Amino acid sequence: MRIRAATDSPSRGASVPGRGYPRCDPPGVTEPTHDEAHGGALGARLNWLRAAVLGANDGIVSTAGLVVGVAGATSDRSALLTAGLAGLLAGSLSMAAGEYVSVSAQRDSEKAALAVEKRELKEQPEAELEELTELLEERGLTREVAREAAVQLTERDALRAHARVELGIDPDALTNPWHAAWASFLAFTVGALLPLLAIVLPGAGWRVPVTVVSVLGALVLTGWSSARLGAAASGRAVVRNVTGGALAMGVTYAVGALLGAAGV
């Protein structure tokens, strides 16, 4: 079965790359070295960190836009707190639900692919052995070596071998939708707390300035962090992040001020 299981982006709980199968592959074929396995685990951790930073960034921008917009219409602390908490809960729960649904769909796809592969291995063992041989040939092995490697892999664990070589997934480490959902919920909540606290703690005359300065400072940090974790240039990422956040707060404040002046 020449397909690849669906994978998700790293900010959505994708399968951990670089996870090897101990003593599954013959030496020199596909078994990762210690450095490769270590590098894959490190890359997975960096992907999760980057996803957490981006989730926090979403919480900062969306909540800041909401509370600053409300602050443009009213200076009532209770109204600001209510709006901020509502935005925090709605945003974090929405992010968590979206991640759960997305990663569950990916996990279902991985399970379905493994089920098909298991059935084909039972019904067409010779055809599957030939398919594995061809896949190994495509990786640069000679026909003889590829055949020998395919036989050894099949004897040890045929499903695991096909899952790794053909589908690119680990049967023992399928994506977990609950992990992704909780990670998104927590990241968004942490980010949303900053503008919420900044808008309700200071006095009435300082609320908007303190919130704007705090949010822009946080956006500099999250923009720089996401760029560094993604091995990209940080300057442009920071400018884009800060500009987007400033624009969101400016627009919502203007709308709030207009509605407040109109008595809506």
CA distance 150 to 135: 9
**pLDDT at residue number 173:** 75
**pLDDT at residue number 54:** 82
Flag whether 179 is in a domain: yes
pTM value? 0.70
Task: Collect the ranges in the chain with pLDDT lower than 50.
Answer: 2-40
Domain of residue 103 covers 23-261
**pLDDT at residue number 132:** 84
Query: 177-200 and 207-229 are packed helices; what angle lies between their axes, rounded to 10 degrees?
Result: 150
**pLDDT at residue number 262:** 67
Phi/psi at 176 (5° precision):
-110, 110
Residues 6+ apart with CB under 8 A from 167: 3, 4, 5, 110, 113, 114, 117
Flag whether 3 is in a domain: no
Q: Are 13 and 150 in contact (CB under 8 A)?
A: no
Flag whether 165 is in a domain: yes
**pLDDT at residue number 193:** 95
Count up the domains in the chain and report the number. Answer: 1
Flag whether 157 is in a domain: yes
Q: Are 167 and 3 in contact (CB under 8 A)?
A: yes
Q: Decide: helix, strand or coil at residue 19.
A: coil
Q: Give me the sign of the Cα torsion angle 136, 138, 142, 144.
A: positive
Flag whether 52 is in a domain: yes
**pLDDT at residue number 44:** 53
**pLDDT at residue number 105:** 92
